[in-house]
Amino acid sequence: MTHGIPRQKTIQRLKRIEGQVRGLVTMLEENRYCIDVLTQISAVKAALSGVEREVLKDHAGHCVAGAIASGDPDEQRAKFDELVDLVLRRPV
Look at the pTM and tell me if it is higher than 0.85: no
Number of domains into which the chain is organized: 1
Angle at 59 between CA 80 and CA 11, to 5 degrees: 145
Question: Residue 17: which of 57, 53, 39, 46 has the closest Cα?
Answer: 46
Residue 1 within a domain: no
Q: What is the largest CA-CA distance in the chain?
A: 58
| Inside any domain, residue 79 | yes
Check residue 47 and give its pLDDT.
Answer: 97
Convert the pLDDT of each residue in 26-38 to its tens digit.
999 999 999 999 9
Amino acid at 92: V
| CATH number where 29 lies | 1.20.58.1000
